[in-house]
Amino acid sequence: MMEKQLLFETERIRLEGLYCELPGERGVVVCHPHPLYGGNMHNNVVEAIVNAYNKNGYSTLRFNFRGTGRSEGSYDNGIGEQEDLFSAIKLLKEKGNTHIDIAGYSFGAWIIAKAIHEKSVSVNGNLVFISPPVGFMDFSFMGYCPNLKLIIAGERDDIAPYQIIKNMFKKWNPDANLKIISGADHFFYGMEEEIKKIIYDFLSEQG
């Protein structure tokens, strides 16, 4: 699948992204891990998410949050980053995607959660969280979220401990699928194919 580089605007700054357009109305925005710790849209987990969605016929948009890569601006403690996410969703809508999933890894999952519960971003597709960093960032604000359908965590992840996620996701959405990858830590090196398979199978079941 061919991704094209693009630039789009949010709050008077430009963000860089990679967009793969496929036939149909289904699309997904993918959010990367923490930019202050080396996270960007080229992350291995982000690429695994994109590949799984492409194989299921979804157009994909991954992008760099402000201050990352060639995206303008600077890190904004999760506030401006929510605006970045809104702009990415808007871009997919403008390109004709009417069913939009949002998937986030680590910090990206936190931004999605904050945008939904603090800024009331509307979601008509699925939410997918990979290693929501409940051992590192505050998720106490997050309540019931019916669109959260899939959570993936690593068995040895001390930033997103699956034991804590198991307790918290009952409040988020007890009907969501929680998948634990054996032997994986927070970075999932060498585990990318397992992530792809879990997401691919999940999307196939969703139809």
Neighbours of 122 (CB within 10 A): 8
Q: Given this model, what pLDDT does residue 121 score? A: 73
Q: How far apart are CA 49 and CA 198, in angstroms?
A: 10
Q: Per residue of the chain (207 residues), what is the pLDDT tens digit?
A: 699 999 999 988 999 999 999 999 999 999 999 999 999 999 999 999 999 999 999 999 999 999 999 999 999 999 999 999 999 999 999 999 999 999 999 999 999 999 998 876 778 899 999 999 999 999 999 999 999 999 999 999 999 999 999 999 999 999 999 999 999 999 999 999 999 999 999 999 987
Q: How far apart are CA 151 and CA 2, in angstroms?
A: 27
Neighbours of 104 (CB within 10 A): 27
Give me the residue spans of the domains in the chain.
4-206
Kindly tell me the sign of the dihedral angle through the C-alpha atoms of 13, 15, 19, 25.
negative
Q: Given this model, what pLDDT does residue 206 score? A: 86
CATH for the 4-206 domain, from 3.10.450.30, 3.90.100.10, 3.40.190.10, 3.40.50.1820: 3.40.50.1820
Q: Given this model, what pLDDT does residue 122 score? A: 73
Q: Given this model, what pLDDT does residue 1 score? A: 67
